[in-house]
């Protein structure tokens, strides 16, 4: 009796590639996603050029899908830093901090956040972020806001850089279905600095400059820092 025909090397490679692609898509869809900080809205906790890993598994699939029975759905807590689909343009991802939870009454008075009438302690911010400078007039909609009762299934999101953040003060509470994941760790941080233009440099010189810039621009002290 003849033995079964062996798979060709090309077919084995093809099957391995297909499996790898399926696993990569599964991981990116349900487990973890890389995210780069594009703006200064979360400074000083997250800087432009920080590269994060985002835990998507924590929230499981969108409510109502078959996978909801298989994957866990985590609980959103105040202070979480989350990546989500921007409500005004779902093709864009935003990252902000959860400040208000469903059913709570949120208000800002002179930069200070109040939840159900009580001032919110925000140890992750410097004192000047929650107080107006002496003699400064508050800006309505930014420093003064609300009061607003957060609807069920929604969250009030704010950037840590309160004077420079496009957040729920401008586009309203975030629906739960827009959440993508919780920021976990900074795996790399890079300060690109101003662009350097040197048209007279050779290819080797430009390559050496790029390599050198990688090492000098990397913020080594932020590598593998937990996000919180």
Catalytic residues: 41, 96
In this structure, the chain runs to a length of: 228
Q: Do 80 and 59 contact (CB within 8 A), yes or no? A: no
**Cβ 98 vs Cβ 82: under 8 Å:** yes
Listed residue (227, 186, 181) closest to 76, CA to CA: 181
What is the CA angle 157-163-167, rounded to 5?
Answer: 25
Question: 3-state SS of the chain: helix, strand, coil percent to 5?
Answer: 25, 30, 45
Residues with Cβ within 8 Å of residue 63, at least 6 apart in sequence: 73, 176, 177
Closest CA to 171 of 157, 159, 182, 150: 157
User: 176 vs 75, 134, 192, CA distance in Å?
Assistant: 11, 38, 34
Residue 124 has which token pair? 């992750």
Spacing of C-alpha 106 from chain mean position: 23
Between CA 111 and CA 119 the distance in angstroms is 11
């Amino acid at each position: 009796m003849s033995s079964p025909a062996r798979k060709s090397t090309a077919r084995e490679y093809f099957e391995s590639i297909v499996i790898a692609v399926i696993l990569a898509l599964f991981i990116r869809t349900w487990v973890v996603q890389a995210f780069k900080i594009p703006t200064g809205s979360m400074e000083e906790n997250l800087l432009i050029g920080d590269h994060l890993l985002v835990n998507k598994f924590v929230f499981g699939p969108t409510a109502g899908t078959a996978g909801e029975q298989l994957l866990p759905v985590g609980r959103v807590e105040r202070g979480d830093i989350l990546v989500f689909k921007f409500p005004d343009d779902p093709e864009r991802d935003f990252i902000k901090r959860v400040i208000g939870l469903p059913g709570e009454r949120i208000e800002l008075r002179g930069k200070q956040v109040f939840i159900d009438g009580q001032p919110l302690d925000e140890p992750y911010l410097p004192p000047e972020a929650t107080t107006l400078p002496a003699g400064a007039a508050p800006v309505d909609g930014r420093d003064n806001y609300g009061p607003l009762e957060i609807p069920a299934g929604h969250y009030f999101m704010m950037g840590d850089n309160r004077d420079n953040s496009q957040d729920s003060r401008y586009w309203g509470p975030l629906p739960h279905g827009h959440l993508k994941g919780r920021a976990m760790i900074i795996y790399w941080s890079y300060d690109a600095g101003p662009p350097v233009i040197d048209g007279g440099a050779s290819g080797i010189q430009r390559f050496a400059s790029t390599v050198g810039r990688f090492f000098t621009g990397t913020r080594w002290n932020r590598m593998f820092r937990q996000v919180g």
